[in-house]
Amino acid sequence: MNLAYRDIKHNFLRFVLTNFGLSLLLGIVIMMTGVYGGLIDDALRQARAANADLWVVEAGTNGPFAESSRIPGDTRELVSRVYGVQRAGSVTYQSVQTELNGAPHRLFLIGFEPGRPGGPRQISAGRNILRSHYEMIVDRSAGLALGQEVLLGTRDHKFSVVGLMRNEVTSSGDPVAYITLRDAQALQFELAPPASRREQARGGSLETNDQINAVIAKVSPHVPVAEAAAALSRWKHLTALTQTQQETLLSKFVIEKARKQQLLIMVLLVIVSAVIIALIIYTMTMDKVRSIATLKFVGAPDRTIIGLIVQQSLSLGITGYVAGLALVFTFRPFFPRRLVFDPESVVAVFAITIVVCLAASTLGIRLALRVDPAEALSAAG
Amino acid sequence: MTEPGRQAVVCVERLSKYFGSGNARVDALIDINMEVFPGQVVGLMGPSGSGKTTLLNCMACILEPSGGRLTLDGEAVYDDHWLKADLRRLRLDKIGFIFQYPNLLPFLDATDNVAVVLHLAGLGAAAAHKRAVELLDYLEVGHRKRALPKQLSGGEAQRVAIARALANQPRIILADEPTAPLDSARARIVMDLLRRIAIDQSAAIIVVTHDEMILDRFDHIYRLRDGRLETDEVTRAPVGADY
Ligand SMILES: Nc1ncnc2c1ncn2[C@@H]1O[C@H](COP(=O)(O)OP(=O)(O)O)[C@@H](O)[C@H]1O
Ligand SMILES: [Mg+2]
């Protein structure tokens, strides 16, 4: 006969209400891990989309996301010849503001060389870029349809949408768009006609701005990435970052403050939950003092009493957690930010809940073990 | 009143108990001698504060005496200090306690309130359930076996509590004013029941009471005053005269 279960069943409504409150609390804790996961995932999304082994950027910079990086357009050929590098592609990154469907809209433009590393990872509708000019693959969140045309740049080039992607946004939520490297370079450096005429009059260079932001290199599986990186570091005007370094850079430094803030909120929430769970268990035990005294009087061992409290505490925690998880997943689509859950953090919250429940029940256990069996004799019954 | 050939189930010798020390010392029990034999129902009477509950608690191994000897069912339990390591087990196996209020566990139905002590004593779930139902039938509350304590009347609840006290077939049953919450007709029924149990299980039953109406139900009345046993009077004919 399970006393914990019987007591819960007897006070079922109270258990359900307590549980509802607890599940909201635990739901918020779980949600915060999702927000945290989303924060990191958004920060890393574009770095991961490139699917690089090595990032070749301007010497001394942490480019191309954390800092700006400019390297000559022929760097890719240089990199391709390095021992171990299998494939390489040039990329550019830039933010542009344009009008989409009559409203101002920001786009994050990625210029890439079709057929080389650095292109979109998955196209959910339409096709890849086939022509070398004025085609665009864009994230669905931009609200554009296949075949629609977008004006970009100072000379209002018409780009037509040939492909759509899902979930390709920057950490600030801007939709990502892929265009060819040549188009991207043109957009970055070409001047509006009057400015261009003035530049020409000054004797300035004509469209010689063959610059890129980074080269993405894929290294042969038979060659250690570190070896290829070492070979690349011979060029003093370049820095090679491994994918791991790039991700560490983004997750540790770029979003460091946001990350710390999230962690602090999570720690505070866990503390609040612990206090609340401890109080719930304590009052649940208080309500049972007389039953506990009677059980002790008739000869129940301490382990029966401890079992009763620990089991109730755990069932409260486990059902609260499950209900909280269900709440979060039910309301996830309505959350303003993308929530990303990795299994480890979901399991970690569960483990924390269990630990907190066990710790919280010690308060109730202390009370229960101090209950004098003779209390069962006292009048009020 | 020693009855030759029969061993006392409860034997109390020169038992004393005081609370506090120095000026604040309260002598709750002084030099108590008492013997209760199988099949006997004895009453413990006395004004409030005379030490009845204290004596019962000492016999129930809930409270440690300050001196003297206590022998339960032939086993020396206390001789100026506890002789048994596991008093809890002793209570579970040898002693049934009936409280002034039924003290049933509110979250268990009548059957499980009885089964729980069988379970604690190591009986399997099915066997415990079966024996609990038998006991409830024996106490004529079998028809209420699924009821929760709050659904039981005072008399029914008290009988469930008695069934619980009997569950492990203890040789010693201690009752602290078990009839206080009952009217006199029901009080008599409970007392007759205790008498029947004393005979059926050859148990010793000690009942604390204030109720002058049920005096005729006891084989013996012990009167306590200020912690001392006053008289030791025989009030009625030998055991089982009614049956
Ligand atoms: N835990 C205790 N601490 C101090 N004094 C106590 C305690 N329990 C009982 N007493 C004292 O012992 C005496 C006998 O009490 P008790 O056995 O409860 O009497 P009764 O049950 O006959 O009314 C009383 O004077 C009471 O104040
Ligand atoms: Mg009393």
Task: Search chain B and give the residue with CA nearest A9.
Answer: B107
As a whole number of angstroms, the distance between CA B30 and CA A173 comes to: 85
Minimum-distance CB partner of A376 among B99, B112, B121: B99
- Asked whether the CA dihedral A3, A9, A12, A18 is positive or negative, the reply is positive
Average pLDDT over residues B112-131: 93
* Closest ligand by atom to B54 CA: 1
**Residue B79 · residue B116 · CB < 8 Å:** no
Q: Is B150 helix (H, G, I), strand (E, B) or coil?
A: helix
- Whether residue B240 is predicted with pLDDT greater than 50 in this model: the reply is no
Most confident of A205-209, B1-5, B190-194: B190-194
The string over A113-128, giving b where at least 16 C-beta atoms fall within 10 Å of a residue's C-beta and e elsewhere, is: bbebbbbbeebeebee
- Torsion angle of the four alpha carbons B152, B158, B161, B162, in this order, in degrees rounded to the nearest 10: -140
**What's A175's DSSP letter?**
B
**Average pLDDT value for residue range A195-216:** 76
Per-residue confidence band for B242, with pLDDT thresholds at 50, 70 and 90? very low
CB contacts of B107 in chain A (<8 Å) are 3, 6-7, 9-11, 291
Atom of ligand 1 nearest to the CA of A374: 1
Q: Exposure pattern of A59-69 as b/e (b: 16+ CB <10 Å)?
A: eebbbbbbeeb
CB-nearest partner of B107 from A10, A297, A300: A10
Give yes or no for residue B234 having a pLDDT over 60: no
Across the range A62-79, mean pLDDT stands at 88
A309-351 confidence digits (pLDDT tens):
999 999 999 999 999 999 999 998 888 777 889 898 899 999 9
In whole numbers, what is the pLDDT of chain B averaged over residues?
A: 87
Phi-psi region of B7 (alpha: psi -120 to 50; beta: other; left: phi over 0): beta
Q: Out of A290, A299, A381, whose CB is closest to B91?
A: A299
Burial of residue A98 (CB within 10 Å: 0-12, 13-18, 19+) is: middle
pLDDT on residue A298 = 87
Contacting residues for A217 by C-beta, under 8 A, at least 6 apart: A52, A53, A54, A55, A56, A79, A82, A85, A87, A88, A117, A228, A232, A240
Q: Which tops the pLDDT comparison, B241 or B116?
A: B116
Determine the residue type at A288.
K
Smallest CA–CA separation between A300 and chain B, in Å?
A: 6
| pLDDT for the residue numbered A292 | 92
Sign of the CA dihedral running B84, B87, B92, B97? positive
Residues 6 or more apart whose CB falls under 8 angstroms from that of B50 comprise B224, B225, B226, B227
- The verdict on whether omega for the bond into residue A104 sits within 30 degrees of 0, i.e. cis, is no
Atom of ligand 1 nearest to the CA of B224: 22
Question: B109 or A38, which is more confident?
Answer: B109
A to B CB pairs, distance under 8 Å: 74
Q: State the average pLDDT over residues B209-213.
A: 80
CA of B100, closest CA in chain A: separation in Å?
7
- The yes-or-no verdict on residue B236 having pLDDT over 80 is no
Highest mean pLDDT among A59-63, A235-239, B125-129: B125-129
Q: How far is the CA of B18 from the centre of ligand 1 (A)?
A: 9
Q: Which residue has the tokens 């001698």?
A: B33
Contact criterion met (CB < 8 Å) for A291 and B106: yes
The three-class DSSP label of residue B225 is: strand
The pLDDT of residue A251 is: 80
End-to-end CA distance of chain B: 22
Q: Is B21 close to ligand 1, i.e. is its CB under 6 Å away?
A: no
pLDDT at A170 over 90: no
3-state secondary structure A127-156: CCCCCCCCEEEEEHHHCCCCCCEEEECCCC
Q: What is the per-residue pLDDT for B243?
A: 40
Dihedral sign of CA atoms A64, A70, A74, A78 in order: negative
As a whole number, mean pLDDT of residues A177-202 equals 82
- Residue B124 CB contacts under 8 Å (≥ 6 apart), including other chains: none
pLDDT of residue B209: 87
Measured CA to CA in angstroms, residue A59 lies from A62, A162, A243, B239 at distances of 9, 36, 17, 108
Put simply, the answer to whether B105 touches A294 (Cβ < 8 Å) is yes
Q: So what's the ipTM on this one? A: 0.83
The confidence score (pLDDT) of residue B188 equals 84
For residue A92, is pLDDT > 90? yes
What number is the average pLDDT over the span A100-118? 89
The per-residue pLDDT of chain A, averaged, comes to 87
3-state secondary structure of A191: coil
What residues of chain A lie within 8 A of the CB of B108, using their CB? 1, 3, 6
Q: How far apart are CA B141 and CA B133, in angstroms?
A: 9
Residues with CB under 5 A from ligand 2 (ion): B 53
CATH class of the domain defined by B10-234:
alpha beta
pLDDT digit string, tens, across residues A245-292: 998 888 877 778 888 888 898 889 888 888 888 888 899 889 889 899
Q: How big is the CA angle at A73 (ends A69 and A79), to the nearest 5 degrees?
A: 85
Contact B102 A301 (CB under 8 A): no
Q: Where along chain B do its domains lie?
A: 10-234
Q: What is the mean pLDDT of residues A13-32?
A: 91
Residue by residue, what is the 3-state secondary structure of A242-284?
Answer: EHHHHHHHHHHHHCHHHHHHHHHHHHHHHHHHHHHHHHHHHHH
CA angle A139, A141, A145 (to 5 degrees): 70
Residue B217 CB neighbour total at 10 angstroms: 22
The reported pTM is 0.75
B62 interface with A at CB cutoff 8 Å: yes
Residue A139 CB neighbour total at 10 angstroms: 23
Phi (first) and psi of residue B169, to 5 degrees: 50, 60
Q: What is the pLDDT of residues B27-62, one digit of tens each?
A: 999 999 999 999 999 999 999 899 998 999 999 998
- Report whether B192 contacts B217 (CB < 8 A): yes
Tell me the average pLDDT across B149-174: 91
Q: Is B49 in the pocket of ligand 1 (CB under 6 A)?
A: yes
- Burial of residue A33 (CB within 10 Å: 0-12, 13-18, 19+) is buried
Cβ-contact B110, B150 below 8 angstroms = no
d(CA B11, CA B13) in angstroms, rounded, equals 7
Q: What is the pLDDT of residue B124?
A: 92
Q: What is the pLDDT averaged over residues A193-211? A: 71
pLDDT in tens, A341-381: 989 889 999 999 999 899 888 989 999 999 888 777 765 44
pLDDT at B241: 42
Query: Residue B235: its pLDDT value, please?
Result: 56
Q: Is the CB of B54 under 6 A from ligand 1?
A: yes
